[in-house]
Amino acid sequence: GAVVSQHPSWVICKSGTSVKIECRSLDFQATTMFWYRQFPKQSLMLMATSNEGSKATYEQGVEKDKFLINHASLTLSTLTVTSAHPEDSSFYICSAPSLAGGNTGELFFGEGSRLTVL
Amino acid sequence: AQTVTQSQPEMSVQEAETVTLSCTYDTSENNYYLFWYKQPPSRQMILVIRQEAYKQQNATENRFSVNFQKAAKSFSLKISDSQLGDTAMYFCAFMKPSTASKLTFGTGTRLQVTL
């Protein structure tokens, strides 16, 4: 199956700094990618839909100035957590739709990135 | 808005036994997709099985099968001949065809397969 890779897997940063997480589709092109946030022992919460060449679509309640998303190419989407605070500590996961075409709902997921803000 | 409920936070099953994970959902849609995704410890989430709501036949993938009850809005996952590698978080998910692969996930069930 298709491969989606995230980097970094782990990141620890000081409060007030910004952190960038990359999501790459390694063997296919993804015009759309999804960014999720997962709290411990909880479900995945969709944060935003990243669209290649255009602005991301954010879910209700997600601060777009806090979580900057850029989808500059067909294989790379980035999530930047700006001025991070301890409450931003979480597991962030990206995904891209299946190559099968159509709206099948099959997603390929990245490995996830665990952010800890001190 | 759609909601997906998984009422079993944790379950345990012995190797080679069968286990059923529950999922219910709420929607006013008639056509939709349902999924079970597996998230192994420290590994990527992967698709286990998918069901289209317009299909009456329950989906099966090797040892994995579903019991889809559309009227009851129930979508349970049965794992037969459980293996140690089945240990993972299992998420039930819902999707409307019009939403470009945007999924609504349940809260997950942590399955532990024991010797």
Mean pLDDT score, B41-62: 91
Nearest residue of B to residue A91, measured between CA atoms: B42
Residues on chain A touching B101 (C-beta within 8 angstroms) = 32, 34, 97-98, 103-107
CA dihedral B91, B21, B98, A94 (to 10 degrees): 10
Given this model, what pLDDT does residue B106 score?
Answer: 94
Which residue in A19, A12, A2, A4 sits closest to A76, CA to CA? Answer: A4
Given an 8 Å threshold on Cβ–Cβ distance, is B103 in contact with A46? yes
Compute the mean pLDDT over every residue in chain B, rounded to the nearest whole number.
93
- Per-residue pLDDT tens digits for A6-52: 999 999 999 999 999 999 999 888 889 999 999 877 788 999 999 88
Residues on chain A touching B50 (C-beta within 8 angstroms) = 104-106
Check pLDDT > 80 for residue A109: yes
Count of beta carbons in the 10 Å neighbourhood of residue A49: 20
Given this model, what pLDDT does residue A100 score?
Answer: 56
Check pLDDT > 60 for residue A101: no
**Residue type at position B59:** A
Q: What is the DSSP string of B12-75?
A: EEETT--EEE--EEE-S-SS-EEEEEEE-TTS--EEEEEEETT--SPPEETTEEEEEETTTTEE
Q: Measure the CA–CA gap between A23 and A75, rounded to whole angstroms.
A: 8
Check pLDDT > 90 for residue B94: yes
Q: Is the peptide bond before A8 cis (omega within 30 degrees of 0)?
A: yes
Residues on chain B touching A106 (C-beta within 8 angstroms) = 35, 47, 50, 101
Nearest residue of A to residue B5, measured between CA atoms: A43
Q: Measure the CA–CA gap between A71 and A117, rounded to whole angstroms.
A: 24
Given this model, what pLDDT does residue B42 score?
Answer: 76
Given this model, what pLDDT does residue B107 score?
Answer: 92
- Per-residue pLDDT tens digits for A53-88: 889 999 999 999 999 999 989 999 999 999 999 999
Given this model, what pLDDT does residue A102 score?
Answer: 54
